[in-house]
Structure 1
């Protein structure tokens, strides 16, 4: 392999011995593929926090991790200005490897072997992944909703815990996510969010989804109120959300179920 700038690598695994083994393997193959371990993280949230401060070329990530797993991490990496290539490392073979065939992404079974790791790194050297591709990996492989949503704000990638969202409200091409503390502007589809989190969020209106635990009550709208048939009252904030005539009975039934 010709002389080249070392690949900057972030190691992501909740088990320190696993990260140490990868460091050792990377040292073993450094003569064939120059690398530099830029940092380590124990889960996806820590990895994204690190990547706010430093760019890397490759993320070597475990899949099963607490807080945020590797599949969800990959979906958020696609939103970075310079998304790194991702190589998954896992002890499990039940993540439907055949479900994605990516030139810039590989899937290594633990215990990872030096030659297999070398082949994966040589595959991604000098390449850039397709950010749109990463956005789709999560739903295909992990089969469930994300734990966090992400958005850009003032040049930074912010994570929004889904469990803290009180409601989503659509406005033109964007969706606002509201927590007790503040609002976040997401580049998401309300329909997609409804499909991804059907157990947590309830449709109130064509432009509004509410978190079921956030519902505190309902009140009928005034007869001349053209915006809504009724209003949903929320826990933690004073705002009211519009409820359409079509959704009124279903929404009210949530509090009596």
Structure 2
């Protein structure tokens, strides 16, 4: 991302004082620079504004009258999966218990109130980095991380690792980070699962909100008792799961993706 580019931010919070304080924090951030282009007091107002306007980032409260912030983020994620332009989301809330759900929705960050300027600036930097990677990939610039390069670059304890995509078994969203699994190791990295879904294309299959699996790594589909993570199933029920080749790990499969997993198994056989 070019230094001269300024992040356009939409504030969504039902408390006017909270929006005023957050606007001041955004204005105080220097690198990257950001400006608040609009405010909304409800998720519905935000959706209405987004029909006719664009922004780079939404700073989003969770608990609001009417549809809450998680529902708005879910709507935005569906737009992104359809290939439509979608702003990044950073949650800003007084409630920490929604963090796991927020990151399943590919939120870039989850900030708890009262927000410190340094913490907000770090979140803005992550958004700016993502926008820069997208712009570089779209322009085909050298160094852009695109599927054609055949690698995913991971920063691991001060080292920069280039992991061939052919070695990646799955990517899983966990809290603020992604876990990249190969046959030999698990690596923790920054990024958005939806971004990688678009970049990796048909070689990977979305089996759940929080997991992308290489089609070549799909080995078995079963119903397992107590399998966590199926958003449509109630607690204590059996859930669908897929076994991953080479590591014999099981990942939850949402019911809406079961047919796609079955198709991947049929194709591989």
TM-score (structure 2 length as normaliser): 0.46
Structure (1 or 2) with the greater helix fraction? 2
Structure ID, larger Rg: 1
